[in-house]
Chains A and B, each alone.
Chain A
Amino acid sequence: MNFEGYRRLDGKVGTRNYVLVIPSVGCSQSVARDIAQGLKGVVYLPNILGCGQVGEDRTLVKKTLVGFGMHPNVFSVLIVGLGCEHLAAQEVREAIVPTGKRVESIVIQDIGGSRKTVALGRKIVKEMREDAQKLDREPIPLNELILGTECGGSDYTSGLASNPAVGAACDMLVSEGGTVILSETPELIGAEHLLAKRARTPEIARQLLEAVAWWEQKAMAAGENIRKANPSPGNIAGGITTLEEKSLGCIYKAGTSPLEEVIPYASYPTKKGLVYMDTPAHDIEQLTGMVAGGVQVVLFTTGRGTPIGSPIAPVVKITGNRETYVKMKDNMDVDVSRILEGKEKASSAGKRIFEEFRSVASGKATKAEKQAQRDFCIFKMNMNI
């Protein structure tokens, strides 16, 4: 089965065709914003990092920014630097060049201030946009699609309706040879051994359990015992009996396929099928990590409703809560509440979701895109200096 996508020079496939402006440091963020301002098809990353991060964090910031620049949903890239930052615009540019796409970098201190840089930047991105508009979509097999899964603003409908329905859609994509990313490690705690049993090899199971242990110890050092604090008294009153039950409700959204690989934050999967990315549960940091790793469409389940979106990847909102769907129609894409009325099976809702993300991959705008909801936040472990 196919969708309509953009074939890139490096062989990868985009579901969108953006010109992306990346500030390599927070100090050039406003200039990057003004360069993209009002130009349809041009977006920028509201990045506040790039200077003052140490050790692993410095690596993570560069990796994430480069991941967005290399992303197949991006046609061309303009990097905007200040000139004295740790992460130089040129360094980000060089890492993106191997994709073959046009990548330029400009530096505010060299050009001489904001106004001149904005003027030059706008000239460059307008040229890029003109070239982008010449490219047409073409039929692409679904096995080249990498789907991200996420949940946020959950309520009782998430574990009973939207997550099982999205899980059914994910199983359908995997049977088409596609890739599904599951993430948010802190939410695995309590059911990690059940997911580990689905690992293709003992090594993959070990990597998953190690990722969980890392988060658990990190939280413990900060005074939070995730395993003891869950399920919360409110969860128990609502009918959730054990931590396994709570965590399984979350994991179920990625379906029931074997686990093929465990990858670090913002990394590109090397396997097809179900792949685990080690990310925080923080909605925007998780979304940013998955998109930096090449996810072209995200399925996002919510009970209470959320407007969250990505600068370069469409995010499809699915809710099992009818009231939320009606009340937050601006933000919700798919209503699966009929599952809870016994009028639709999760498997048939899954088919609808499958068709929806195929349309979205082929260009249909999501509610988050219509609202220009472009959230971006890079995960880091330590303080800035």
Chain B
Amino acid sequence: MRRTAQVIVINEKDNVATTLKGLSVGAEVSVEFQGGLQKIRLLSDIPMGHKFALKDMEEGEAIIKYGEPIGKSTARISRGEHVHVHNVVSQPRGELR
């Protein structure tokens, strides 16, 4: 079986993957996502340890890593796009805020 050595998806519910090395815009990476191996073309340079979207997301959608919301998107995010502080905002204390 082919293994995905460039990126890691921690939990099956996640909608982002984390890179294990720096990857360039246009690179096609294989990701195990929703039970199958999917190919995703990167729309931005992704430095090592950073995240990209596994699917298209609307503004205000929960970003899921570790199977839990790590924040909310502040813009539309396309599959393969860099997901970081420029398009995600923290939701500290969840709904309490």
Contacts and interface: CB of A to CB of B under 8 A. Distances in A.
Contacts of B96: 193
B8 A340 contact: yes
Contact of B65 (A248, A256, A341): A248
Contacts of B10: 160, 164, 252, 346
Interface stretch (A174-182, A237-245, A257-265): A237-245
Interface in B47-87: 47-51, 63, 65-71, 83-85
A160 B93 CA distance: 23
A194 interface: yes
Contacts of A192: 93
B35 interface: no
Interface in B1-47: 3-6, 8, 10, 18-20, 47
B88 A239 contact: no
Interface of A: 156, 160, 164, 190-194, 197, 227, 236, 238-245, 248-249, 251-252, 256, 339-343, 346
Contacts of A241: 51, 63, 70-71, 83-85, 88, 90
Contacts of B67: 256
Contact of B71 (A156, A242, A251): A242
B92 A243 contact: yes
A161 B35 CA distance: 20
Count chain A CB atoms within 10 A of each CB in B5, B91, B93 and give the residue with the most: B93
Given A249-B66, A339-B8, A342-B6, A239 B50 contact: yes
Contacts of B50: 239
Given A193-B94, A236-B85, A346-B10, A244 B70 contact: yes
Count chain B CB atoms within 10 A of each CB in A227, A240, A244, A339 and give the residue with the most: A244
Count chain B CB atoms within 10 A of each CB in A241, A251, A339, A343 and give the residue with the most: A241
Contacts of A249: 66
21 contacts: A191-B68, A192-B93, A197-B94, A227-B92, A236-B85, A239-B19, A239-B48, A241-B51, A241-B84, A241-B88, A242-B71, A242-B90, A243-B92, A244-B91, A244-B92, A245-B65, A249-B66, A251-B66, A252-B10, A339-B8, A341-B20
Contacts of B90: 190, 241-244
Nearest to B21: A340
The 5 A-B residue pairs with the shortest CB-CB distance, nearest first, are: A342-B5, A239-B49, A239-B50, A193-B94, A242-B90
A160 B92 contact: no
B68 A239 contact: no
B4 to A, nearest CB: 5
A120 B5 CA distance: 62
Contacts of B92: 190, 227, 243-244
Contacts of B69: 194, 244
Contact of B88 (A242, A256, A343, A346): A242
A191 B89 CA distance: 14
A239 B18 contact: yes
A342 B1 CA distance: 11
Contacts of A164: 10, 66
A239 B83 CA distance: 9
A112 to B, nearest CB: 60
Contacts of B63: 241
Nearest to B67: A256
B29 to A, nearest CB: 11
Nearest to B30: A342
Nearest to B89: A242
A156 B8 CA distance: 12
A193 B8 contact: no
Contacts of A160: 8, 10, 18, 20, 49
B3 to A, nearest CB: 4
Contacts of A191: 68
B31 to A, nearest CB: 10
Contacts of B68: 191, 194, 244, 248
A160 B7 CA distance: 10
Contacts of A256: 67
Contacts of A190: 90, 92
B66 A252 contact: yes
B8 A343 contact: no
B11 to A, nearest CB: 8
Contacts of A245: 65-66, 70-71
